[in-house]
Amino acid sequence: MAQDETAAPGAGEDDLELSDFDAEERLAVLKAERDEYRDKFMRALAEAENSRKRAERDRREAEQYGSTRLARDLLPVYDNLSRALAAIPEESRVASAALIEGVELTLRELSNVMQKHGVTTITPAVGDMFDPQMHQAMFEAPLPGTKAGQIIQVMTEGFMLYDRLLRPAQVGVSSNPG
């Protein structure tokens, strides 16, 4: 018998009878371990949910704002078509009616395509107040009959891509103190 006890020391510890105190202690340890695993599981579950939400948000942003570079590259085309139409003298309009109509249709189609993809124009009017979030001041000048901060000239329109600014509208601003 002595050989059996020395041959396997510590083997079959579960086979030993534990006193009530030892069983309670063991139960407390197992409950603490269970609570720790439950906490780890809940954290992992929350992290997985946060990752899913983050991936969904990133996908939406990529879908909406992925065309930012292309949209910015199209803005000079819009500007040039607008300037071309504005530069046509009145006396040439009748003789070049078909050409003018073609340029207007091209500009309108470009505007429609840009709107379809979330690009909207920022068109300030003379007399509006300067908004540094939407406008870029190209110059300041005192103009009688205006208040400081009023727009006195619009050089180019600005553009938004959904809720992000692509390009601010370029404007002249009054510097009148009154």
Question: Quick one: the chain helix, strand, coil %, rounded to 5?
Answer: 55, 20, 25
Check residue 67 and give its pLDDT. 86
Give the separation between CA 100 and CA 170, rounded to whole angstroms: 26
> Of 124, 126, 86, whose CA–CA distance to 107 is shortest?
86
Check residue 155 and give its pLDDT. 93
H/E stretch holding 167 reads strand 164-167
Q: Write the single-letter amino acid at 64.
A: Q
Residue 13 CA from chain centroid, whole number = 61
Give the separation between CA 176 and CA 134, rounded to whole angstroms: 21
pLDDT (tens digit per residue) in 74-107: 999 999 999 999 999 988 888 889 999 999 999 9
Give the separation between CA 45 and CA 123, rounded to whole angstroms: 48
Helices 68-86 and 97-116 cross at an angle (nearest 10°) of 160
Extract the residue ranges of the chain whose pLDDT is less than 50.
1-8, 10-19
Check residue 12 and give its pLDDT. 47
pTM of the model: 0.68
